[in-house]
C-alpha cells in the first residue's frame, strides 16, 4: 500500500459506539423505532435552547460577506471575550482572558490540538480507565503512548496512588474527564487536590513538567454535585470544552481550548496550541456558531429530562437486580455485565433489541455503558427487555 497504513487502520477499525448506533438505525428501519432500545451514542435528546435559535436568526441577518467570512484562526475577538467574561463570572478573576482561548470544532478538535501541542514521539499520556475511546486515537496520532490507569473500582474517582506509580520521566500529561463519560462520576475537590499533589511531587522527583488536560464537555450536565474548577487546583492545567452537550449542538462543532493565565507556561502553550491548530487544519471554527455561543454563554443547560431518565433507569435496573454506579453527571449509566465478557452480554442484549455498549473499548472489562440521552419512553419501554435479559442469567 502506498498510503498511510496507520490512518487506514483507524478508518478500518471504526468506533464501536458508532457501529452500534449504525446497527440501531438499520434495525429501527426494519422493525420500527419504538421496538429498538438504542442506548449507544451520547447524542443529546434535549433540544437546543430557544436562545440558540434566536442567536442564529440574529446572526443570519448580518450582511452575507460579514457572516460567512473567515474569522481569525483562534476565533472572533468579541466571541472569545464573551466566553472569557463568562468564565470569570463563574470561576473568578483569574479564570480566563479573551487571548487565552482558542475556538475549535468541538472537544474532539480541542483535545487533538492539545495533544499535538504537548507531545513529541516517545512521550506518554495517562488516561483514567474507563475513558472515552477516542482519547487513544488522538494521543497516538500525536506520537505519544496512551497509558491506561484504572479508576478506583468502587467510587470510580481517580486512583491517585496508581497515577503516581504510572508516571515516568516520559509522562507529558494526564487526561481527566469530569463529569465522566462513561461512568458519570464527578471528581471531588479532595480527589483533584490529591492528584495535584502527586503530579507536583512526581514532577519534582523526576525534574519534568506534567500537564493536566481537563476534558469538560459535560461540565453543566450535573444532578446536584459541584464540578470544581481544575486550574484553581493545579496550575499546569489546560481545559478542553465543547457546547455539544451543554447546548445540545453536537453537529455544529463548536468548543474551545483554554490555557488559563495562571498556567506558568502560558505564552509558549498558547503559541503551540495555535501552531497545532494550524497544522491540523483546525482554524477558524464555524463562524455562525462562534456568534451563537457568544450570545448563549450564560444559558443554563436543561438537565430536567436527563434527570428524569436517570431516575427511571436507575430505579428500573435497580429493581431488576442490576449493579450500577450512581451517576452524578453526564448522561451515561455504568452497569455491571451479568457475565465476565461484556461483549457476550451485549450480544445477548441485542437479541432482545437492547443496545448498550460493552466496556472493553473504554479500557475496563466487565461493564456496559447505557446512554440515557434518549426519550423517556425508550427507558420505560425497555424495562421488559432488561428483565428478560436478567432472567436469562438466573
**Whole-angstrom Cα distance, residue 44 to residue 41?**
9
Find out whether the peptide bond into 175 is cis, omega within 30 degrees of 0.
no
Question: Which residue matches cell numbers 483569574?
Answer: 94
| Residue with Cβ nearer ligand PLP (255 or 327) | 255
**Whole-angstrom Cα distance, residue 155 to residue 40?**
23
Kindly report the number of other CB atoms within 10 A of residue 292's CB atom. 25
| Residue with Cβ nearer ligand PLP (44 or 260) | 44
CB of 93 to ligand PLP, least distance (A): 27
CB-based contact 297:291 (threshold 8 Å): no
| Residue with Cβ nearer ligand PLP (55 or 108) | 108
| Residue with Cβ nearer ligand PLP (215 or 360) | 215
What one-character DSSP code corresponds to residue 238? Answer: E
Residues that bind ligand PLP (CB under 6 A): 42, 106-108, 132, 177, 181, 215, 217, 242, 244, 250, 255
Q: Give me 372's grid cell.
A: 440515557
User: Which run of H or E residues covers position 378?
Assistant: helix 376-391
CB of 108 to ligand PLP, least distance (A): 3
**Whole-angstrom Cα distance, residue 173 to residue 56?**
37
CB of 370 to ligand PLP, least distance (A): 14
Question: Which residue matches cell numbers 482558542?
Answer: 102
CB of 388 to ligand PLP, least distance (A): 30
Residue 384 makes CB contacts below 8 A (sequence gap 6+) with: none
| Residue with Cβ nearer ligand PLP (221 or 389) | 221
CB of 244 to ligand PLP, least distance (A): 4
CB of 105 to ligand PLP, least distance (A): 7
CB of 240 to ligand PLP, least distance (A): 7
**Whole-angstrom Cα distance, residue 274 to residue 272?**
5
| Residue with Cβ nearer ligand PLP (36 or 240) | 240
**Whole-angstrom Cα distance, residue 72 to residue 286?**
11
CA-closest candidate to residue 363, choices 68, 169, 126: 126
CB of 299 to ligand PLP, least distance (A): 17
| Residue with Cβ nearer ligand PLP (18 or 89) | 18
| Residue with Cβ nearer ligand PLP (292 or 389) | 292
| Exposure string over 318-339, b if 16+ CB within 10 A, otherwise e | eeeebebbebbbbbbbbbbbbe
**Whole-angstrom Cα distance, residue 298 to residue 205?**
42
Amino acid at each position: 500500500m502506498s498510503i498511510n497504513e496507520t490512518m487506514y487502520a483507524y478508518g478500518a477499525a471504526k468506533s464501536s459506539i458508532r457501529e452500534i448506533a449504525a446497527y440501531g438505525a438499520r434495525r429501527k428501519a426494519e422493525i420500527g423505532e419504538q421496538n429498538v432500545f438504542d442506548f449507544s451514542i451520547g447524542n443529546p435528546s434535549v433540544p437546543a435552547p430557544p436562545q440558540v435559535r434566536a442567536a442564529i436568526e440574529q446572526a443570519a441577518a448580518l450582511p452575507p460577506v460579514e457572516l460567512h467570512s473567515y474569522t481569525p484562526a483562534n476565533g472572533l475577538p468579541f466571541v472569545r471575550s464573551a466566553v472569557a467574561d463568562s468564565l470569570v463570572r463563574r470561576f473568578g478573576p483569574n479564570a480566563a482572558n479573551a487571548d487565552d482561548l482558542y475556538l475549535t470544532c468541538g472537544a474532539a478538535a480541542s483535545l487533538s490540538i492539545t495533544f499535538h501541542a504537548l507531545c513529541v514521539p516517545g512521550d506518554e499520556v495517562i488516561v483514567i480507565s474507563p475513558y472515552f475511546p477516542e482519547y487513544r486515537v488522538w494521543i497516538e496520532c500525536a506520537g505519544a503512548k496512551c497509558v491506561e490507569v484504572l479508576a478506583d473500582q468502587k467510587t470510580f474517582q481517580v486512583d491517585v496512588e496508581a497515577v503516581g506509580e504510572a508516571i515516568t520521566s516520559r509522562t507529558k500529561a494526564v487526561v481527566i474527564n469530569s463529569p465522566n463519560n462513561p461512568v458519570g462520576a464527578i471528581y471531588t475537590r479532595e480527589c483533584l487536590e490529591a492528584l495535584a499533589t502527586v503530579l507536583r511531587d512526581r514532577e519534582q522527583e523526576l525534574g519534568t513538567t506534567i500537564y493536566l488536560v481537563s476534558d469538560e464537555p459535560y461540565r453543566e450536565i450535573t444532578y446536584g454535585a459541584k464540578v470544581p474548577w481544575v486550574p484553581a487546583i493545579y496550575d499546569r492545567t489546560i481545559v478542553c470544552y465543547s457546547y455539544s452537550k451543554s447546548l445540545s449542538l453536537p453537529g455544529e462543532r463548536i468548543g474551545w481550548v483554554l490555557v488559563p493565565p495562571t498556567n506558568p507556561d502560558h505564552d509558549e502553550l498558547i503559541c503551540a496550541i495555535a501552531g497545532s491548530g494550524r497544522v491540523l487544519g483546525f482554524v477558524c471554527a464555524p463562524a455562525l456558531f462562534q456568534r451563537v455561543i457568544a450570545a448563549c454563554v450564560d444559558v443554563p443547560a436543561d438537565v430536567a429530562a436527563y434527570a428524569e431518565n436517570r431516575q427511571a433507569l436507575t430505579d428500573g435496573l435497580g429493581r431488576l437486580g442490576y449493579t450500577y454506579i450512581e451517576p452524578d453527571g453526564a448522561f451515561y449509566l455504568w452497569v455491571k455485565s451479568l457475565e465476565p465478557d461484556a461483549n457476550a452480554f451485549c450480544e445477548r442484549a441485542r437479541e432482545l433489541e437492547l443496545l448498550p455498549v460493552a466496556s472493553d473499548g473504554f479500557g475496563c472489562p466487565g461493564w456496559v455503558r447505557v446512554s440515557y440521552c434518549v426519550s423517556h419512553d425508550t427507558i420505560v419501554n425497555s424495562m421488559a427487555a432488561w428483565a428478560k435479559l436478567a432472567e436469562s442469567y438466573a
